[in-house]
A = this chain, B = another copy of it.
Amino acid sequence: MTTNGEPPNLAARRTGLSTRRSATLGGMTSATRSQPPSRRTQARETRQQAIVAHVMANGVATVTELTELTGASVMTVHRDLDELARRGVVRKFHGGVSAQPSTVFESSSEYRVTVQVREKEALATAASALLEPGMSIMLDTSTTNLFLARRLGDLGLGPLTVVTNYLPIMQLLRTMPDVHLIGVGGDYNSTHDAFLGMSAIEAIGALTVDVVFLSTSAMTIGTTYHQEPDIVTVKRAMMAAGQRRILLMDPTKLNRTALHRLAPTSDFHDVVVNAGTPRDFVDELRERTAVTVAG
């Protein structure tokens, strides 16, 4: 598998297959920063993708093997492997690495996250069209809503009250003029970077907003789902607090289920999906609720 002449990764480095850094690292933070890809980071991504591909193809691999494959130093490969192991993509053992059983799906979904930035931005744009000056809105814990929050600054519509339990959004809206921010407190959950629990639910229960924007990890035609009960309860509280409930769903989440049922799709006043969503899916969904297709 090793080339003989020049390091094989040079070509890959030049073409730069990967687009952006994966969103997993610092939570979802990296998706929030609109920092440029950086040629160097891109090379790193390319290299890691090559490593993952190789490990997945062969099942296992030694570090030396990967060193030759990538043309990078032993230390760099180790560092890559540490990161990949931390992200649960591969498993390290003395002498090499092996593919995680679930890696096939995991990593492909990771790749998709990269792509979804565009989709989520489209959803955010479509959602922002529903906003009017003076409105009070609620944003749940989701990357899509983070994009929506960022949009609020651009379209200079008047004063707006925004309620959220998602720390990155708070951080974002903190300095935004014309935005009255109401933070929902509670038990801080580091994996979601948000405040959850009873206290959060009570705080939400005391509020009523004009529109609540939600997103969840899976949905079918009839039902929405999420894998974590703690999140489900908070989302339900939020739904109850909104006079209008709008669901934002990027393509990767459609036609899938998760452990816990959140709510029937008919509970939402509007579901926003991306263009490219299968026609029949949209049609069937339209029998339950209003559907907006975002450019």
Contacts and interface: CB of A to CB of B under 8 A. Distances in A.
Contact of A185 (B171, B175, B184): B184
Given A174-B167, A206-B199, A188 B182 contact: yes
Interface residues of A, number: 25
A165 B199 CA distance: 13
A158 to B, nearest CB: 18
A189 to B, nearest CB: 9
A202 interface: yes
A98 B165 CA distance: 42
A213 interface: no
Given A174-B188, A175-B190, A202-B206, A195 B167 contact: no
A183 B171 contact: no
A180 interface: yes
A183 B203 contact: no
B170 A188 contact: yes
B199 A203 contact: yes
A193 B188 CA distance: 18
Nearest to A197: B182
A82 interface: no
Contacts of A84: none
Contacts of A190: 174-175
Nearest to A187: B182
A186 interface: yes
Given A170-B167, A199-B203, A203-B203, A183 B182 contact: no
14 contacts: A167-B183, A171-B171, A174-B188, A180-B187, A182-B199, A183-B185, A183-B188, A185-B185, A185-B186, A185-B195, A199-B206, A199-B207, A202-B206, A203-B203
Q: Which 10 A-B pairs have the closest CB atoms?
A: A185-B185, A181-B188, A183-B185, A184-B185, A183-B195, A185-B203, A183-B188, A182-B187, A203-B203, A199-B203
